[in-house]
């Protein structure tokens, strides 16, 4: 245990069931293991190796292949769903109906119909449905939102965003669920691209329509989705944004493990904002944010932004009944943009977004 203590006065120790013990679970499992407010009651995964690793490294009270074996236990308050996308809908619904709060990995679902069903069920059950869109909590994303909300560059009329990753090995593997049209629901857009779609919604507001082009430009794998895609999104406030999303962008070290570059820029009537973030195993983490005006360039110090941990925030919301900074409805509306973009690729025309 760490030296953290139970500081939320309305929160008893929260029992957690983690469903899905793959790579993405490791940071979450460590957090739960180390936080005195939380108790890792159980982990569940049908993959024996993944389950054994989680059990050995994070000491849950129980480790089971099927989460349904333990779902109805009274000492489980929250279920963390970290399974492949196609399982989110059924797992979330069953957990909500068992009286549990939900932490769900992005994307919320594979379709708007599923997402609306999940949101409506959470409301009917009186339980929290919290979606883990971790980029909302980063210092650069929060600082950009503050700059835009405060009209630091005036009225934004145009923006650009890029998610440039390298996931060739898993995307090309027809046995892996990543990018699988049946198990993941799509390729790079419903995966990494979902993050920047959500961020743009949070920064620019309600999205109105989208045009998109994309497909398998580099990887030829049967049953897999797009490896690259470009979007043009129009927002109700009059701004337009272009998004480029890739799982085949080569940067230093991408042959060793997944790498990522994020680029964002906003053009306003009184200035411009530029943001760059990158991580690779050779150069490490590099991030930069600056505001440009007629008078010159001003770098923005990101170390001055107060840290905000995603799970800390969600736990506090449950304990105190506060509204989270990213909601299930936000996650649903990001999915609405993605769904409309896929329709645009199929039809070759601009598609209106089914916002809620």
Structural domains of the chain, ranges and CATH numbers in brackets: 14-134 (3.40.50.720), 135-310+335-352 (3.30.360.10)
Beta strand spans in 135-185 (E): 156-165
Low-confidence ranges of the chain (pLDDT < 50): 1-7
Count the helix, strand and coil residues of the chain and give each as a percent rounded to the nearest 5.
35, 30, 40
pLDDT at 10: 55
pLDDT at 257: 85
Q: Which two tokens stand for residue 239?
A: 């701004």
pLDDT at 230: 98
User: Angle CA(134)–CA(311)–CA(114) in degrees, nearest 5?
Assistant: 65
Alpha carbons within 13 angstroms on the beta-carbon side of residue 117 total 14
Quote the CA–CA distance of 111 and 118 in Å, as a whole number: 11
Decide if 76 contacts 16 (C-beta within 8 A): yes
pLDDT at 2: 35
pLDDT at 256: 87
- In terms of DSSP bridges, do strands 38-44 and 129-132 run parallel, antiparallel, or are they unpaired? unpaired
pLDDT at 3: 34
CA nearest neighbour of 305 among 321, 322, 287, 292: 287
Burial (Cβ within 10 Å: 0-12, 13-18, ≥19) of residue 67: buried
pLDDT at 11: 59
At 238-248, the pLDDT tens digits run 999 999 999 99
- In terms of DSSP bridges, do strands 284-293 and 296-299 run parallel, antiparallel, or are they unpaired? antiparallel
At 35-68, the pLDDT tens digits run 999 999 999 999 999 999 999 999 999 999 999 9
Length of the chain: 356
pLDDT at 5: 41
């Amino acid at each position: 245990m760490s030296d953290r203590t139970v500081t939320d006065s309305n929160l008893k120790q929260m029992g957690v069931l983690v469903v899905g013990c793959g790579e993405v679970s490791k940071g979450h499992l460590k957090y739960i293991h180390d936080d005195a407010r939380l108790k890792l009651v159980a982990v569940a995964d049908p993959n024996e190796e993944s389950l054994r690793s989680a059990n050995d490294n994070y000491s849950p009270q129980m480790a089971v292949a099927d989460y349904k074996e333990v779902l109805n236990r009274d000492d489980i308050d929250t279920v963390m769903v970290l399974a492949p996308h196609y399982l989110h809908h059924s797992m979330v619904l069953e957990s909500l109906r068992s009286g549990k709060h939900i932490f769900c990995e992005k994307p919320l679902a594979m379709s708007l119909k599923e997402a609306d069903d999940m949101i409506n069920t959470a409301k009917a059950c009186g339980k929290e449905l919290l979606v883990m869109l971790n980029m909302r909590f980063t210092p650069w994303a929060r600082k950009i939102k503050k700059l835009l909300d405060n009209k630091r560059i005036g009225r934004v009329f145009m923006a650009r965003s890029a998610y440039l990753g390298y996931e060739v090995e898993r995307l090309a593997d027809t046995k892996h669920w990543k990018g699988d049209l049946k198990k993941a629901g799509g390729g790079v857009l419903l995966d990494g691209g979902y993050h920047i779609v959500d961020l743009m919604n949070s920064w620019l507001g309600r999205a109105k329509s989208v045009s998109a082009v994309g497909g398998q430009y580099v990887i030829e794998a049967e049953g897999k989705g797009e490896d690259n895609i470009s979007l043009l999104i129009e927002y109700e406030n009059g701004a337009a944004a272009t998004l480029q999303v890739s799982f085949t962008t080569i940067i230093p070290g991408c042959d060793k493990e997944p790498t990522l570059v994020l680029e964002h820029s906003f053009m306003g009537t009184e200035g411009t904002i530029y943001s760059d973030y990158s991580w690779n195993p050779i150069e490490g983490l590099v991030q930069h944010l600056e505001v440009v005006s007629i008078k010159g360039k001003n770098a923005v110090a990101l170390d001055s932004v107060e840290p905000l941990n995603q799970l800390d925030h969600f736990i506090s919301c449950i304990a105190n009944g506060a509204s989270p900074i990213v909601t299930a409805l936000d996650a649903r509306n990001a999915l609405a943009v993605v769904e409309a973009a896929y329709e645009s690729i199929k039809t070759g025309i601009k598609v209106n977004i089914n916002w809620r």
